Amino acid sequence: MRDKFYFDELYLFVTKEVIFRFIGAPAAWIDRKVVNGLVDLTGNTALKVSDAVKGLQSGRVQQYALFFLGGLIVLVLLMTYLF
């Protein structure tokens, strides 16, 4: 069994040339471009939404009550108009 029927060379060829080139490399590209892009998009969207909502939070209860009362009046007028 001098050359072992070249099983080692065959194994290296299949793993390096076939599996890595046609399966591993495209999977790595999808992970880098698509998956990381979606994760970055989610994070950036959360930051932008939090920046927009941050201005609505003043900590003043009177302001919150005024917004609640204004919204309630708008809903009552809308329901009265529609029904």
Distance CA 19, CA 17 (A): 6
At 1 the pLDDT is 55
DSSP 4: G
Residue 2: which pLDDT band, with cuts at 50, 70 and 90?
Answer: low
Residue 3: which pLDDT band, with cuts at 50, 70 and 90?
Answer: low
What residue ranges do the domains of the chain occupy?
4-82
Judge whether residue 9 has pLDDT over 70. Answer: yes
Distance CA 13, CA 19 (A): 9
At 60 the pLDDT is 87
For residue 3, give the 3-state DSSP assignment. coil
Predicted TM-score (pTM) of the model is 0.51
Distance CA 77, CA 80 (A): 5
| Residue 46 vs residues 39, 41, 56, 76, 83: alpha-carbon distances, Å | 11, 9, 16, 33, 38
For residue 1, give the 3-state DSSP assignment. coil
Average confidence score pLDDT of the chain: 89
